[in-house]
Chain A
Amino acid sequence: MSIERDTLEMDVLLVGAGPANLACAIQLSKLISAHNERSKESGSKPLDEVNIAVIEKASEIGAHQLSGAVLDPISLRELIPDFEKHGAPLEAPVGEEHVYFLSKSGKIPLPILPPPLRNHGNYVVSLNKLTRWLGEKCEEAGVNIFPEFPGAEMLYEGDTVVGVRTGDKGIDKTGKPKSNFEPGVDITAKVTVLGEGVRGSLTKQMIERLKLDRESDPQVYSVGIKELWEMPDDRFAPGSVIHTMGWPLDSRTFGGSWVYGMRDRIIDIGLAVGLDYRDPKIDPHHEFQRFKTHPLISDLLKGGKLVRYGAKAMPVGGWFTMPQLTSDGVMIIGDSAGMLNGERLKGIHTAIKAGMLAAEVILNALVKKEFTRKTLSEFDLKLKSSYIGRELYKSRNFHQAFDRGRMFGLMIEGISIITGGRLPSRLPIKAGHEHMQKLTSEAGADRYAGLKYDDQLTFDKLTDVYYSSTHHDEDQPAHLKVVDMNICIDRCVTEYGNPCQNFCPANVYEMVDGGEGKRRLQINFSNCVHCKTCDIMDPYQIINWVPPEGGGGPNYRKM
């Protein structure tokens, strides 16, 4: 059956309504107005009307946004200089700060705050609220924003990107059109900007096709598990910040926790776990639940109530893992390009700045009417020579050092801080899933034997997922495409013990009785919180995350 599709012609198409693309859209609108003002004065020809569109898979702007988050306001200040006056949703300026190294029941405060973790002048924010606000600013600037529009595939002419085809609507679980079927739309554009967030599904396809990663190291990731708690009193002031290292993670597992004070007696608490851990039995959700039983945390949360849950992966490889950022007709920005600073645990300010720099390059391309890599590659240079580039360059060896375990990591980190990132040689790194070790013959002790779910402080995965307000239409094909399910049954069971059941923080993957004494992989895709961990951490790399029908996914609030 050939399908008739609508075509929507745009000039600039931004895929994903996160801080990078929304900043890009706002900045581009401003630059175009300024350019046209100047043309008017000088009598030269202004730009024709420029149509800018942002597409987003979530049901509304911000609904899939999750971060710690502490915002370094440096780039937001450039984008919207008096953002406080314009009602930017800030929780509080960072106040008291602590960093602890945890043992099972003890804590050692670090005598001095490591410079990368100093947050004076920064703000505790909810990324989900901040993004929604940036979305409003975009709409005020006349940018078209289309929520519930997932990008399904890139449109190419030769190897030039000419737009994106959005996902079909109304396909049933067997793949047949339902009565509400509507085919996806072809949105064409002179420049397509991929700001899809971490492990973007289109970005992944495109990097592979155009080999944009041929000169970069493989990206490495962490997954952040997060809960919001509502407290009965003001025990933890808005803007208070705690970071911890150590327990419950073992010394071969990268990661650490955060506890941030938000407005309205909300405590924001989370644990990041490096997705390059060794033991396939590690379960980031369970590690987080264990973390909350530490006296430092259980005392803090006593009497409080869980109100939200969510999870999201983040790219932490930094400088050496960034792909080539541009190609003909296309640019990659933000987390999709690995611009998060893993050492400072911050990616919002880099995303915003990247969006702004991209806007400058796009304006230039629009003026020249020239959208090939020749013009767009100015972005690669601009980014690398900006303060974002300098910051990422300085922390270029951060995660790579922890690749060899915590002690080596901390030692190298100490040296790097003193030398500004210089080390005698560049540290090697491999993709996180390659670190996963096969099950050994002797069954080790159950890591989580002592973990009980009391529904007060600790919650099982399914209960937590409920607090993410995740929803997908059940009558659609699973959006987690497992290339070969036989591998799950025939090899993975014995080699890794089906770790998808462990690393997924939303109970999507479940090995169930398949009859005839065999197991079978059941994919509860409607639980999926779109964190992308499975696509990243699967040891065989046979899980392919693609966007479900538009609007499906978590419905984050204040996250």
Chain B
Amino acid sequence: MSQGIVLFIEQRDGVLNRTSFEAMVAAQGIASATGETLTAVVLGKSVAAVASEVASKKLQAVYTAEDDRLAEYTPDGYAAASKQVVEKLDPRFVILSHTYQVRDYAPKLAAMLGRTFVTDCVGFRAEGSEVVFTRQIFQGKINTDVRVVGAPPILASFQAGSYRADKAEAAEAPAPITPIEINISDIQIRTQAEAKFQEAKQAVDLSQAPLIVAVGRGIKSQENIEIVQKLAEAMGAEIAASRPICDNEWLPMDRQIGSSGQTVSPKLYLAVGISGAIQHVVGMKNSQTIVAINKDAEAPIFDIADYGIVGDLFEIVPALTAEILKAKSEG
């Protein structure tokens, strides 16, 4: 008879996906509510480190299913391997985190098993030994309860953020790690992964930058951004901007500081041609040292600046860049 809970852990290149711990919190909860035992499964190749990290949590056992063909993710390989694991362990519940990978292969797995898959759950509730899953519909406006009446195993995936990874209960002693044998052949895997690529450039995290040079409307045109860029390079600083610059797409939106952009508190914030509208100021007022260059002595940026230069940025910025480069080459 089917019993127990199997939690699939997601990893890539030996690095654990943290949402697996979030799903683990749900799985541990289901285990304690229903009295079922919880085991975790790690698929892939060279996953020992991930398995031992998982084994430190409160569960009955950790299984590893390793194969060269699982080194790179393919939907065919993962579905086939998972199916064999599920058939061997014969659980009542299969729990997954609702990642892109799971969205890709888990529906296939469910179809191959001929079982129900409750996707993107945000919670659950035990009624006796039954489990009722909660998922959202209509753009997240309505929660529905889902009760599965079909045969086990019941597959369920949990939405990222529904549970907190740091709430996963740790074990007193590590759980045993056991390899589990799977048999997949090249024939089963119909796709071959191309080299990984990322379409969207990594978003810039300006909050970590110690030095920021920010440019505002005073720069007048896109061509002039270059002089500020040179200054930032000379200083080893990140370049940032106030809203009009990003609106004009002179710099990408992820460089925007202020109420509709990022909030930063670097050691040094050099504001070039920024008047200091409150919307910008709230994003940088906690910087340790603020230096402002602006031709308007009345500009509100000077109210919060520790140092201010009233003057033409087109004269000051190149001169400043030259001085910094000179000091560096001498230093």
Q: Contact residues of A with B, CB < 8 Å?
A: 6, 8, 144, 146, 148-149, 169, 182, 185, 455, 462-463, 465-466, 471, 474-475, 522, 524, 526, 550
Contact = CB atoms under 8 A, between A and B. Distances in A.
B294 to A, nearest CB: 16
Contact of B260 (A169, A455, A471, A522): A471
Contacts of B300: 455
A182 B139 contact: yes
A524 B247 contact: yes
B322 interface: no
Contacts of B260: 471, 474, 526
B320 interface: no
Given A182-B139, A550-B139, 13 more contacts: A6-B138, A144-B142, A148-B141, A149-B139, A149-B141, A185-B139, A455-B300, A462-B278, A466-B278, A466-B279, A471-B259, A474-B260, A524-B243
A551 B247 CA distance: 21
B247 A6 contact: no
Interface of B: 137-139, 141-142, 243, 247, 253, 259-260, 277-279, 282, 300
A146 B243 CA distance: 32
* Closest 7 pairs between A and B when the two form their complex, measured CB to CB: A466-B278, A462-B277, A146-B141, A463-B278, A182-B139, A466-B279, A185-B138
Contacts of A465: 279
B299 to A, nearest CB: 12
Task: Output the residue of B137, B138, B243, B253 with the most chain A CB within 10 A.
Answer: B138
A522 B246 CA distance: 13
A466 B283 CA distance: 12
Nearest to A6: B138
A462 B279 contact: yes
A462 B282 CA distance: 13
Contacts of B137: 6
A8 B138 contact: yes
Contacts of B277: 462-463, 466
Contacts of A526: 260
B259 A466 contact: yes
B219 to A, nearest CB: 12
14 contacts: A8-B138, A144-B142, A149-B141, A182-B139, A185-B138, A455-B300, A462-B277, A462-B278, A462-B279, A463-B278, A466-B278, A466-B282, A474-B253, A475-B253
Nearest to B277: A462
B279 A522 contact: no
A146 B140 CA distance: 10
A69 B300 CA distance: 34
Main secondary structure of the interface of A (DSSP, over half): mixed
Contacts of A146: 138, 141
Task: Output the residue of B137, B139, B247, B300 with the most chain A CB within 10 A.
Answer: B139
B249 to A, nearest CB: 10
A46 B282 CA distance: 58
A550 B140 CA distance: 12
Task: Output the residue of B142, B247, B282, B300 with the most chain A CB within 10 A.
Answer: B247
A282 B277 CA distance: 23
Contacts of A169: 139
A412 B279 CA distance: 46
A414 B142 CA distance: 54
A61 to B, nearest CB: 13
B226 to A, nearest CB: 18
A463 B278 CA distance: 6
A371 B118 CA distance: 39
B247 A522 contact: yes
A466 B142 CA distance: 32
A465 B259 CA distance: 11
Contacts of B247: 522, 524
Contacts of A463: 277-278
Contacts of B253: 474-475
Contacts of B243: 524
A28 to B, nearest CB: 20
Contacts of B142: 144
A463 B277 CA distance: 7
A185 B137 CA distance: 11
A526 B246 CA distance: 13
Nearest to A55: B141
A489 B153 CA distance: 66
Nearest to A8: B138
Contacts of A475: 253
A460 to B, nearest CB: 8
A471 B138 CA distance: 23
A58 B260 CA distance: 18
A188 B141 CA distance: 16
Nearest to A166: B139
Nearest to A550: B139
Nearest to A475: B253
Contacts of A522: 247
B120 to A, nearest CB: 12
Nearest to B220: A513
Contacts of B141: 146, 148-149
A510 to B, nearest CB: 9
A71 to B, nearest CB: 30
A550 B141 CA distance: 12
Contacts of B282: 466
A547 to B, nearest CB: 15
B185 to A, nearest CB: 35
Contacts of A6: 137-138
A463 to B, nearest CB: 5
A516 to B, nearest CB: 12
A146 B142 CA distance: 9
B297 to A, nearest CB: 15
Contacts of A144: 142
